[in-house]
Amino acid sequence: MAQVSDIAAATRLDAAGLNHRKAILLLVLACLFWGISFPVSKALTLLYLQSMPGASSWFVVSLQGSIRFLLAGLLMLPFGWRELPSLREREVIQGVGLGLCGGPGMLFQMDGLAYTSASISAFLTQAYCILLPLYHFSRNRTAPGFRDLLAIFMVVTGIGILANVDWSTFPNWPR
């Protein structure tokens, strides 16, 4: 009897390990596609701007974003069409809210990508990560730890370096 339970436990552990490996692989693939999206988006934006002389970059990035999200929606439809009728009103409102906040953010990011390098755009895009711990600390009224302060300092310093801040005059307080 002990052998049957040992086999069942080993099978569960193998399944958990397989799910963990699958999750890690999918996360790595998501990061890979996210990283590739910056140079690809920049190349497509520049290609569109060259092929449509006189078109504003806002039109180009709006067109590109519309095509991108339409294709993403069509690709996701076969996997989730059965779930659409079971969406609650609150979930729809949350999705619309995310779209209204995330959509303009994507447009600003893609438009900025037309004027800077893909690596700088990726760094600045990820700088929002310092806002999440700051929000957490303010909401919970807790002080940030040393690692949090160090990470915030590094991100702000990186933004300053990318913005070509003249550190010798910073801060230039009146004396």
Establish if 24 belongs to a structural domain: no
Q: Is there a contact between 125 and 113 (Cβ–Cβ < 8 Å)? A: no
**Enclosing domain of residue 166:** 116-175
Q: What angle do CA 64, 74, 118 make, to 5 degrees?
A: 35
Helix, coil or strand: residue 172: coil
Q: What is the mean pLDDT of the chain?
A: 82
Which range has highest mean pLDDT (2-11, 59-68, 163-172)? Answer: 59-68
Establish if 86 belongs to a structural domain: no
Q: What is the DSSP string of 110-125?
A: HHHHTTS-HHHHHHHH
Helix 146-162 × helix 118-126 angle, to 10°: 150
Is residue 74 over pLDDT 90?
yes
pLDDT tens track for 153-175: 888 888 878 777 776 766 665 55
Establish if 169 belongs to a structural domain: yes
Establish if 79 belongs to a structural domain: no
pLDDT tens track for 83-114: 888 999 999 999 999 999 988 988 888 888 88
Establish if 134 belongs to a structural domain: yes
Establish if 37 belongs to a structural domain: no
Establish if 108 belongs to a structural domain: no
How many domains does one find in the chain? 1
Establish if 6 belongs to a structural domain: no
Structure token pair of residue 1: 């009897």
Closest by CA position to 121, among listed 170, 61, 173: 61
Q: Is there a contact between 42 and 57 (Cβ–Cβ < 8 Å)? A: no
